[in-house]
Amino acid sequence: MTMGKVLDPTSTRDDDVASPGPDAGLLAGKKIGIRLDQIWRAWDWIAEDWAAKLEDAGATVSYWRSCGRSGEEGERMAAELKEWLTTIDMAIVGLANCGSCTGWTVRDAITSANTGIPTIAIATKNFEDFAHEIAARGGRSGLRVHVLPYPLNEQERGAVKAIGEAHFEGMLHDFGATIAMREAAE
């Protein structure tokens, strides 16, 4: 009988960062970036709702929208992302809601986390494990991932708003973020 050796292609990286990175801390006075994409209207709605809540807590919010990611346009997008990251103190990166979207969401979150700013990726339940797997393969197994329910984009706006509302405090917790006591009491 011939014996063979099976190699495991899922080994860990020697340079893996298992830490989630710094906590977001107090939101007041922070510049928070929210990364959007081209596809998921539900993520736009949640980001809009969360941005209003973040601004109520004393933060300022800016957006960056991911578009074509290959060829010359992809190079331009990568440069724009890196430039945008220099203007913010923390990043909320979404939405991991399909295969390629999960890949780009996690890749952009890793790019953000590698700058040293607090970063969290947002994924839907069906893509949670995939997001963690891509993060590990990208050398950031500790990347923060907050999970929203699936399906999300097929919901009507009111239902999506309720989901966003229900997940805001959990996202802040996962992010290590706090709201000033004055705002929290209101």
Assign residue 91 the CATH number of its domain: 3.40.50.10140
**Is 11 inside any structural domain?**
no
**Is 42 inside any structural domain?**
yes
pLDDT of residue 4: 80
**Is 12 inside any structural domain?**
no
**Is 44 inside any structural domain?**
yes
**Is 67 inside any structural domain?**
yes
Cα 123 off chain centre by = 7
Cβ proximity of 145 and 134 under 8 Å: no
Cβ proximity of 176 and 24 under 8 Å: yes
pLDDT of residue 47: 98
At residue 178, φ and ψ (nearest 5 deg) are -130, 150
pLDDT of residue 7: 64
What is the total count of domains within the chain?
Answer: 1
At residue 134, φ and ψ (nearest 5 deg) are -65, -40
**Is 107 inside any structural domain?**
yes
Question: Splitting the chain (186 residues) into consecutive groups of 10 residues, what average pLDDT does each group show?
Answer: 72 89 96 96 98 97 94 95 98 96 97 98 98 96 98 96 98 93 47
Q: Containing domain of residue 49, as a range?
A: 27-185
**Is 89 inside any structural domain?**
yes
C-alpha distance across the termini of the chain, in Å: 74
**Is 176 inside any structural domain?**
yes
